[in-house]
């Protein structure tokens, strides 16, 4: 059965569509709603096969739908319907195609024309369903090696697979991706805020900075003041476009559970939680794991990495950390000066030719994360993360991390 949801304001158009759908037989059904806001709720609950939108308000309406498509991850094929005598029809069609409309109907709506649209949509289904996966790397404080893990995983993905990979430095206040990759970007994520109304997949691929590994990078702003333009809505739009432009998106998040971070978690197929064997850090990590449970990011869709691991008097072992957090430690991170040297040179350790030691272990951990995010790409829709937003605690540091190394779980 084919379910159609129509977003229409005209009573006459609703009558036309009902007659056209009725002529197609009982295998096609139609539901109608009056505006974009009500359609979002219907899309979540009814999962229609086709969305028909009455284009009667010009380019502004199309731009509103662009925001909705990216913000709410609308994967349902969208077709527009408009009058033959509408002003600026050609320009409107071009803009609608750019933001994701798949086809168009002319009024008066007819069963034959609607049947043709349904056949074309059905033939193109395999291509339409393609979306990239997103891996979010998070922590509750800086200085635990979160950025090093995110960057090395992204570079490893770019150099070992036939896929387009984007690293988003969402550590907005103190992002270090450009430095760790020895890049001098001309455009950062702050610049995207001013162009989010017209951002699409092609534009995003063109404005990102490319690393020698083939990795595309969207760096953090150069100053904290410029980061103020990036809120949770802007971040969600950027990541929505990114997932349509790239096969894999890796996000280095800010060490704070704020609305922007939760918007990132909403988009993620898999989450890498980074911690260290220091009691205050583990306390924050325990709170984060509880929040992730509330967001339906359970142990099956997250990986706990123990960073900056050193054996010293009073420190917890990997087994004790796992016991305290009631979570398996998937990888143990040891402090190693070779990773620090790689960071100072702006050359990720995974690019080392060494088949042993730190470089090899970092590649192994990166590959494990990539395997998991690929396996989690069919994950069910999560609850709205922003509903669980908690105030940030004083213990959540604004400082950024120092490089770390990975090894197999101990």
Those residues whose C-beta lies under 8 Å from the C-beta of residue 98, and which sit 6 or more positions away, are 200
Q: Count Cβ atoms below 10 Å from residue 178 Cβ, excluding itself.
A: 19
In angstroms, the CA 191 to CA 396 distance is: 27
Phi, psi of 112 (to 5 degrees): -65, -45
In angstroms, the CA 348 to CA 341 distance is: 10
In angstroms, the CA 78 to CA 126 distance is: 15
Residue 243 vs residue 44, higher pLDDT? 243
Closest CA to 329 of 277, 401, 291: 277
pLDDT at 408: 34
Q: What is the pLDDT of residues 193-222, one digit of tens each?
A: 888 777 888 889 999 999 999 999 999 998
In angstroms, the CA 17 to CA 20 distance is: 5
Those residues whose C-beta lies under 8 Å from the C-beta of residue 212, and which sit 6 or more positions away, are none
Most confident by average pLDDT, 26-30, 98-102, 258-262, 367-371: 367-371
- What is the mean predicted confidence (pLDDT) over 318-342? 89
Give the range among 69-73, 262-266, 350-354 with minimum mean pLDDT: 69-73
pLDDT at 385: 56
Give the range among 163-167, 230-234, 289-293, 377-381 with minimum mean pLDDT: 377-381
Q: What is the pLDDT of residues 160-172, one digit of tens each?
A: 988 999 999 999 9
Residues of the chain within CATH 3.40.50.2300 domain(s) are 2-128
pTM of the predicted model over 0.85: no
| Structure tokens that stand for 332 in this block | 């143990």
Those residues whose C-beta lies under 8 Å from the C-beta of residue 404, and which sit 6 or more positions away, are 144, 145, 148, 149, 307, 308, 333, 334, 335, 336, 339
Q: What is the pLDDT of residues 379-404, one digit of tens each?
A: 444 545 555 554 433 333 333 333 33
Q: Is 367 exposed, middle or buried (0-12, 13-18, 19+ CB in 10 A)?
A: middle
User: In this structure, are residues 169 and 146 in contact, taking their beta carbons and an 8 Å threshold?
Assistant: no
Give the range among 17-21, 56-60, 204-208 with minimum mean pLDDT: 56-60
Residue 273 banded pLDDT, cuts 50, 70, 90: very high
Q: Count how many residues are written for the chain.
A: 410
- What is the mean predicted confidence (pLDDT) over 134-152? 93
In angstroms, the CA 330 to CA 407 distance is: 10
- What is the mean predicted confidence (pLDDT) over 322-349? 90
Does domain 2-128 fall under CATH 3.30.70.100? My reply is no
In angstroms, the CA 209 to CA 370 distance is: 22
In angstroms, the CA 179 to CA 219 distance is: 10
pLDDT at 331: 92
Residue 354 vs residue 269, higher pLDDT? 269
Residue 34 vs residue 378, higher pLDDT? 34
410, pLDDT greater than 70: no
pLDDT at 156: 96
DSSP three-state, residue 340: helix
| Structure tokens that stand for 330 in this block | 């998937």
45, pLDDT greater than 80: no
Residues of the chain within CATH 3.40.50.300 domain(s) are 133-408
pLDDT at 126: 42
Query: To the nearest whole number, what is the mean pLDDT of the chain?
Result: 84
In angstroms, the CA 152 to CA 303 distance is: 16
pLDDT at 409: 33
Those residues whose C-beta lies under 8 Å from the C-beta of residue 82, and which sit 6 or more positions away, are 54, 55, 56, 89, 92, 104, 105, 106, 107
pLDDT at 354: 81
* 218 upstream amide cis, omega within 30 of 0: no
Question: H-helix or E-strand containing 208?
Answer: none
What is the percent of the chain with per-residue pLDDT over 70, rounded to a whole number? 88
Residue 377 banded pLDDT, cuts 50, 70, 90: low
Q: What is the pLDDT of residues 78-106, one digit of tens each?
A: 999 987 665 557 788 888 888 888 888 88
| Structure tokens that stand for 405 in this block | 């190394």
Those residues whose C-beta lies under 8 Å from the C-beta of residue 173, and which sit 6 or more positions away, are 220, 224, 227, 254, 398
Q: How do beta strands 216-218 and 165-170 pair? A: parallel
In angstroms, the CA 330 to CA 320 distance is: 14
User: In this structure, are residues 81 and 53 in contact, taking their beta carbons and an 8 Å threshold?
Assistant: yes
Tell me the sheet residues that pair with 52.
Answer: 6, 79
> Which residue, chain included where needed, has tokens 């206040």?
173
* Architecture of the domain defined by 133-408: 3-Layer(aba) Sandwich (3.40)
pLDDT at 153: 96
Q: What is the pLDDT of residues 116-126, one digit of tens each?
A: 888 887 766 54
In angstroms, the CA 192 to CA 147 distance is: 21
CA angle 358, 360, 364 (to 5 degrees): 115
pLDDT at 124: 60
What is the torsion angle, in degrees rounded to the nearest 10, for the CA atoms of residue 106, residue 107, residue 108 and residue 110?
Answer: 30
Question: H-helix or E-strand containing 308?
Answer: strand 302-309
pLDDT at 269: 93
pLDDT at 87: 58
CA angle 123, 127, 129 (to 5 degrees): 105
């Amino acid at each position: 059965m084919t379910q159609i949801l129509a977003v229409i304001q005209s009573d006459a158009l609703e009558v036309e569509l009902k007659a056209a759908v009725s002529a197609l037989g009982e295998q096609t059904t139609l539901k109608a709603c009056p505006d974009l806001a009500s359609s979002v709720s219907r899309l979540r609950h009814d999962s229609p096969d086709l969305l028909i939108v009455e284009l009667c308000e010009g380019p502004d309406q199309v731009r509103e739908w662009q925001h909705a498509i990216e913000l709410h991850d609308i994967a349902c094929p969208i077709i527009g319907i408009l009058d033959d005598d509408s002003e600026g029809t050609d320009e409107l069609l071009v803009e609608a195609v750019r933001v994701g409309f798949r086809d168009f109907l002319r009024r008066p709506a007819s069963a034959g024309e609607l049947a043709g649209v349904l056949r074309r949509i059905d033939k193109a289904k395999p291509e339409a369903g393609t979306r990239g996966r997103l891996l979010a790397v998070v922590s509750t404080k800086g200085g635990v090696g979160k950025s090093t893990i995110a960057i090395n995983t992204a570079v490893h993905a770019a150099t070992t697979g036939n896929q387009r990979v984007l690293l988003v430095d969402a550590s907005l206040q103190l992002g270090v991706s450009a430095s760790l990759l020895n890049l001098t970007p001309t455009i950062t994520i702050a610049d995207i805020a001013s162009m989010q109304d017209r951002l699409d997949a092609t534009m995003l691929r063109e404005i990102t900075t490319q690393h020698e590994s083939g990795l595309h990078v969207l760096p953090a702003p150069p100053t904290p003041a410029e980061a103020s333009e990036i809120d949770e809505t802007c971040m969600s739009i950027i990541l929505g476009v990114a997932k349509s432009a790239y096969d894999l998106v890796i996000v280095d998040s800010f060490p704070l559970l704020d609305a922007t971070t939760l918007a990132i978690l909403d988009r993620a197929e898999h989450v890498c939680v980074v911690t260290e064997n220091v009691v205050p850090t583990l306390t924050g990590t325990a709170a984060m794991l509880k929040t992730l449970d509330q967001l339906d990011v359970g142990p099956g869709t997250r990986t706990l990495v123990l960073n900056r691991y050193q054996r010293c008097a009073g420190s917890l072992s990997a087994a004790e950390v796992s016991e305290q957090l009631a979570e398996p430690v998937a990888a143990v991170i040891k402090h190693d000066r070779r990773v620090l040297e790689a960071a100072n040179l702006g050359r990720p350790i995974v690019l080392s030719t060494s088949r042993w030691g730190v470089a090899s272990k970092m590649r192994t951990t990166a590959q494990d994360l990539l395997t998991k995010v690929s396996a989690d790409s069919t994950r069910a829709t999560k609850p709205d993360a922003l509903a669980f937003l908690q105030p940030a605690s004083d213990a959540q540091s604004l400082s950024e991390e120092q490089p770390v190394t990975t090894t197999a779980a101990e």
